[in-house]
Amino acid sequence: DQQVKQNSPSLSVQEGRISILNCDYTNSMFDYFLWYKKYPAEGPTFLISISSIKDKNEDGRFTVFLNKSAKHLSLHIVPSQPGDSAVYFCAASARGTGNQFYFGTGTSLTVIP
Amino acid sequence: DGGITQSPKYLFRKEGQNVTLSCEQNLNHDAMYWYRQDPGQGLRLIYYSQIVNDFQKGDIAEGYSVSREKKESFPLTVTSAQKNPTAFYLCASRPSRNYGYTFGSGTRLTVV
């Protein structure tokens, strides 16, 4: 059963506009969340993280929002740039699970110049 | 530079053969992980190891085996028992709980 879900397989956004990528999770024990960016045939690279004690974390153009009551997190990219075109994975981790992360299925973002 | 090295980048295997994927890290990370990526299915955990000489099965361990004889190395063997081995395999490591993974660049395995 998929514990982390990204229901939008793809997203297209005009350059300069905001990209919003969404992620839902089912396990209320998850307390640490990450977003990764992945290009084809490469390993994912870390983008931004948030722990459950926060509801927002910002790093430059990237902001992650966490809504614990809704079990929902989102990644905002403002402004979007063509180089942001990639697959984005959200991941979640809980204490006592061997420190493993559970990954969503990914959202492919295309930023149109 | 510190990082994770996976080799080879591309690997072809005949049906019925075992094959071993290499993963080496010089980050001094305690925990290491193997994931498999298939189209539309995200990353699924095969095996993980939190300390040397110890490892646990992930969600899809059947048909795979691992060893962790050294902190730096966590090789994955894809055995002939794995029914659908063609996939992109990712190795990752993590220093401790409140840090994310560092991933290798992956190995694309194709069964011919």
Is A2's pLDDT higher than 90? no
Q: What type of residue sits at position A37?
A: K
* Nearest Cβ partner for B50 among A51, A98, A105: A98
Both tokens assigned to B32: 């290491």
- In this prediction, residue A95 carries a pLDDT of 74
**Are A9 and B40 within 8 A, CB to CB?**
yes
- In this prediction, residue B82 carries a pLDDT of 87
Q: How far is CA B17 from CA B70, B81, B88, B106, in A?
A: 25, 9, 18, 20
Say how far apart CA A55 and CA A63 lie, in whole Å. Answer: 10
* Nearest Cβ partner for B103 among A32, A44, A100: A44
Q: Which residues of B touch A50 (CB under 8 A)?
A: none
Contacts with B, A 58-97, CB within 8 Å: 89, 91, 93, 95
Q: Which residues of B touch A2 (CB under 8 A)?
A: 42
> Residues A57, A45, A105, A14: is their CA dihedral positive or negative?
positive
Say how far apart CA A40 and CA A19 lie, in whole Å. Answer: 20
Say how far apart CA A46 and CA B48 lie, in whole Å. Answer: 19
Q: Provide the Cα torsion A43, A48, A52, A54; round to 10°.
A: 180
Count CA atoms closer than 13 A to A27's CA, side-chain side. 21
Say how far apart CA A46 and CA A17 lie, in whole Å. Answer: 22
- In this prediction, residue B97 carries a pLDDT of 65
Reading chain B (112 residues) residue by residue, the pLDDT tens digits are 679 999 999 999 998 899 999 999 999 999 999 999 987 778 999 999 999 999 999 999 999 999 999 999 999 999 988 888 999 999 999 887 667 889 999 999 998 8
List of residues 6+ apart from A81 with CB closer than 8 A:
A15, A61, A111
**Are B88 and A41 within 8 A, CB to CB?**
yes
- Nearest chain A residue to B97 by CA distance is A99
- Nearest chain A residue to B56 by CA distance is A98
Q: Is the peptide bond before A9 cis (omega within 30 degrees of 0)?
A: no
Q: Give the number of A-B residue pairs with CB atoms closer than 8 Å.
A: 66
- In this prediction, residue B100 carries a pLDDT of 81
Q: Helix, strand or coil for residue A82?
A: helix
Say how far apart CA A101 and CA A42 lie, in whole Å. Answer: 19
At A81-93, the pLDDT tens digits run 999 999 999 999 8
Residue that has been written with the tokens 């840090």 in this structure: B99
- In this prediction, residue A97 carries a pLDDT of 61
Cβ neighbours around A19 below 10 Å, total: 24
Q: Which residues of B touch A101 (CB under 8 A)?
A: 100-101
A39 — contact with chain B (CB < 8 Å)?
A: no
Q: Which residues of A touch B105 (CB under 8 A)?
A: 42-43
Residue that has been written with the tokens 């403002």 in this structure: A78
